[in-house]
Amino acid sequence: MTSDESYVRRAIDLAESAVESGNTPFGSLLVVDDEIVRTAENTTLTDDDIAAHPEFKLASWAATELEPADRVACTMYTSTEPCPMCASAIVYAGLDRVVYSVSVDSLADVRPDGVIEIPCAEVIDRADGATTVEGPMLEDEGLAVHENYF
User: Rule CB under 5 A: which of 65-84 touch Zn ion?
Assistant: 83
As a whole number of angstroms, the distance between CA 59 and CA 51 comes to 12
Contacts of 144 (CB under 8 A, 6+ apart): none
Q: How far is the CB of 60 from Zn ion (least distance, A)?
A: 12
- Of 91, 68, 77, the C-alpha closest to 38 is 77
Per-residue DSSP letter, 123: H
User: Rule CB under 5 A: which of 26-45 touch Zn ion?
Assistant: none
Give me the catalytic one of 55, 65, 117, 147.
Answer: 55
- As a whole number of Å, the end-to-end CA separation of the chain is 28
* 65 has catalytic annotation: no
**CB of 31 or CB of 90, closer to Zn ion:** 90
**CB of 74 or CB of 82, closer to Zn ion:** 82
Q: How far is the CB of 16 from Zn ion (least distance, A)?
A: 18
Q: Tell me: does residue 86 bind Zn ion (CB under 5 A).
A: yes
Q: Tell me: does residue 111 bind Zn ion (CB under 5 A).
A: no
Q: Among residues 53, 71, 111, 146, which is the contact residue for Zn ion, using CB under 5 A? A: 53
Active-site residue set: 55
